[in-house]
Structure 1
Amino acid sequence: MTAPLRALLGQAHTTDATRARDSRRALGTRRRIPLVLCAATAWLVFVLLHRALSGRVWWWQVPELVPPLALAAVPVVLLAAALAMARRARRAAAAVALVSLTLGGGASGLNLASLWHRAAPAPPDSIKVFSWNTWYWDQPVGGTMPPPTGTPARDVAAFYRYLHAQDADVLLLQEYVYFGADSRPIRVHDLDRLRREFPGFHIATASEMVTLSRFPIVLERGLGPRPEDSRDTPVPPGSDWPGFYTVKTLRTDLRIGNRTASFYNSHISSPVDPSAGGLDLLSLGRTQHEARQADLRALAADIQANPLPAFLAGDFNVSPAMGILRLVPGRMADATPALRSLYPATWDDRWPWWRIDWAYTTQEITVHEYRLVRSNGLSDHSGQRLVLSLSR
């Protein structure tokens, strides 16, 4: 065989091998493309269902437990995967990922406004407010009443030092309650110590909320479900404290100078039945869902009928991914933009996962400062500290 012929045959062999290799690569690419597109489409379907069902039907409560950040992170990962694919399928997969990011990203808990929002300086007569879920007041950590042998004791002095350190004019505190070994709520009788610790403060209580204020309290009222919603709030048979289950917001109207403003201290029912003793997915039933709706409807009805400037804060037991937040009336504006955190998280305070504590104001109130205060082991919630002012 002549040298030119051998060269020609070698070139043909090389060309055939290259074509075969390119064909295998193209086949592999075609196989990968549908996987990314199918994943992006499946996630978009989930986002659409979540927007339609979350907060509206009780049987969507398990999907509602999706970590909020996933609503932004998953489409971003899918978008990156789509951009690595062949050009023809890239556009379809990328478009689907972008649509799911657009529709779901707002419920991810990301506070993009923190990148550009700059609050106005606080005036001299500003009001310092602190809201905090105390984790069963000064009950032994993670314990019951009476506490089991070996249960770590709560440092009560540290508890009050923490409250004093907030230097607040108004304190909105939740879980002013103990729990017995049978998950039965037990009233706390600590008003005498509160008066000693906060001389000159006015104090109001309702259910398991307590509000302390330097300003005179001219009205205090616990808010429970409307008659048409009362059937949705479960009260265990034989309970000696039904108000614990039916009253989940304490409204106090405070006289601040020559103005009066309403402060709402809320602890919305948990999606998990408290008798379950933990995150039991089987307890995510209709009863708790309807109780949460009743809590928020009672709150919304009072706010809508209230002509006064209003501030609302507390433990809502609602992550940014849960659609039940839409029951907060439109009159209230979320104070989140004033937070200097891109991903604010209040629970669990030791290893923060997401946010379930919130603050809202009406347009007559300006938020000058808003930050989350770690509880240093005193609670499983971070506190919320805000500096406000009333418009002139």
Structure 2
Amino acid sequence: MPARRTRAARAAATVLCALAVLWALNTVLRTAFSGRWWLWNGIDLAPPIAYIAVPLALLLPAALLPRLRRSTLAALALALLLGAGQAGVHPGALLRDQGPVPAGALRVVSWNTFFWHQDGDPERFYTYLRRYDADVYLLQEYQNARGDRPVPIDDLARLRAAFPGYRIAAEGAFLTLSRHPVTMHRALRPAGLPAPATDWPDYWDVRALRTDISVGGRTLSLYNTHLPDLLNVDRNPLTPSYYREVGSHAHRRLLHLRALRADLDANRHPVVLGGDLNILPGSADLRWFRGLRDTAESGTDLYPATFPAGPAAMWRLDWTFASPDVDIHRQSLEDPPAGLSTHRLIQLRLSLPAPPPTGAGDGRPGPEDPKAQP
């Protein structure tokens, strides 16, 4: 009997070691390739929280083994060390003491509406949006679908009736609503994009809408953004067409990200950027937003996952960023009522810096500055 127990313990230790090494290898590969190699987009399906949860879960049975292999411990330590930067966990959220929001702070909402109110009750949809009483709405997927094809819609008359007094900027599948005057809006259209995959070119060619608004003597640039998907979960990952589509999406993403980065570098105004970026925590794609603050750092969510909406949210696909001089007082994630969207809504409360002296810049590079080049 003791010999049988010894053999069983050795077999368990071997299995545990193999699992630990495989997971550590997966973590190393994700650290190296996420956001850098397009093929990884079609492989990286694990929820980011797994990069902490899995090694911790493997440590539990390891602690019960009488003879823990050093290789097992080393693999789990490596996985935890690298996984801490991949998981998208914000430990500071547990200690954050949020004071009162200053009077006059802007309320900003960013939300992927998931095909607007198609197949739903429009009044229920608009009632939900109005309840936030936001100064700014950054709304994505202002569209419907026919089969697997996105199609444009025109709901502006109903929108104006539901939000009287708001200025509306609309391009492609984006809507930006503002209580404050809009001084400029334009879609970012990268050069060199491949031919669109449907007969609605703007769905593919417009993935960011910039809208400048005037707030208390300052211009605030709003970037309403929805980057192409990393992958199509409806495709079979064992077929070549799946990876061809992953590569096509990655190419489009790169062109859109370059155009977005170039516009950010040339912009002298404070910035708030939000939307469904289809970027996972820890991905090197976050380098495109260097110089901006992740507003989740001002939230109270330990794990600010946004997809799918509800208690089972495991992936963070939706993000909001702001210039360092924008004061973020709050970030909160809200679950929409069932049936409205598969994405959680992000709500911000923020204040802008005081206007610079007349004739002075704000220190950000402009188009004439060589630092503005991407």
- Quickly name the TM-score band, shorter chain normalised: 0.7 to 0.9
Amino acid at match of 1:110: V
SS at match of 1:211: strand
2:177 pairs with 194, 200, 212, which one? Answer: 212
Q: Does 1:391 align with 2:350?
A: no
- Over aligned residues, Cα RMSD in angstroms? 2.1
Which stretches of structure 1, 4 residues or more, deviate above 6 A after TM superposition?
Answer: none
| TM-aligned CA deviation for residue 22 of structure 1 | 4.8
SS at match of 2:351: strand
Q: 1:112 matched to which residue of 2?
A: 91
Amino acid at match of 1:207: G
Q: Does 1:312 align with 2:289?
A: no
SS at match of 1:110: coil
Q: Does 1:378 align with 2:340?
A: yes
Distance 2:264 2:251 in 1: 20
Q: Does 1:252 align with 2:252?
A: no
| TM-aligned CA deviation for residue 26 of structure 1 | 4.1
Distance 2:235 2:132 in 1: 31
| CA displacement, residues 138-171 of structure 1 (integer Å, 9 cap, x when unaligned) | 211xxxxxxxxxxxxx111111101100110000
| CA displacement, residues 230-285 of structure 1 (integer Å, 9 cap, x when unaligned) | 24x4512xx54312101101111111011111111111111235xx8x35434342
Distance 1:196 1:243 in 2: 26
Identity of aligned residues (%): 36
Deviates more, 1:327-336 or 1:256-265: 327-336
Q: 2:31 matched to which residue of 1?
A: 51
1:164 pairs with 125, 130, 142, which one? Answer: 130
Q: TM-score, with normalisation over the residues of structure 1?
A: 0.82
| CA displacement, residues 346-392 of structure 1 (integer Å, 9 cap, x when unaligned) | 22224423221111111011111111111102111111111011123
Amino acid at match of 1:257: G
Amino acid at match of 1:241: W
1:340 pairs with 283, 293, 300, which one? Answer: 300
Which runs of no fewer than 5 residues in structure 2 stay unpaired? 355-374
Distance 1:166 1:325 in 2: 31
Distance 2:72 2:298 in 1: 36
Superposition pairs for residues 272-291 of structure 1, below 5 Å?
A: 272-273=231-232, 278=234, 280-281=236-237, 282=239, 283-284=242-243, 285-291=246-252
Q: 1:176 matched to which residue of 2?
A: 142
Superposition pairs for residues 50-89 of structure 1, below 5 Å?
A: 50-87=30-67, 89=68
Q: 1:149 matched to which residue of 2?
A: none
The structure whose residues are more often helix, as a share, is: 1
Distance 1:114 1:165 in 2: 26
Q: From the superposition, tell whether residues 353 and 279 of structure 1 become closer, same or farther in structure 2 (CA, over 3 Å).
A: farther
Distance 1:339 1:359 in 2: 11
Matched-pair contact (CA < 8 Å) for 2:110–2:346: yes
Which runs of no fewer than 5 residues in structure 1 stay unpaired? 1-20, 141-153
SS at match of 2:289: coil
Distance 1:268 1:207 in 2: 13
Distance 1:279 1:364 in 2: 43
Distance 2:118 2:343 in 1: 15
SS at match of 2:347: strand
Aligned length: 347
Q: From the superposition, tell whether residues 33 and 245 of structure 1 become closer, same or farther in structure 2 (CA, over 3 Å).
A: same
Distance 1:71 1:234 in 2: 38
Distance 2:256 2:100 in 1: 35
Distance 1:331 1:59 in 2: 27
Distance 2:106 2:214 in 1: 12
SS at match of 2:213: strand
Distance 2:15 2:317 in 1: 35
Distance 2:288 2:100 in 1: 28
Structure showing greater radius of gyration is 1
Distance 2:93 2:264 in 1: 27
Q: TM-score, with normalisation over the residues of structure 2?
A: 0.86
Matched-pair contact (CA < 8 Å) for 2:42–2:231: no
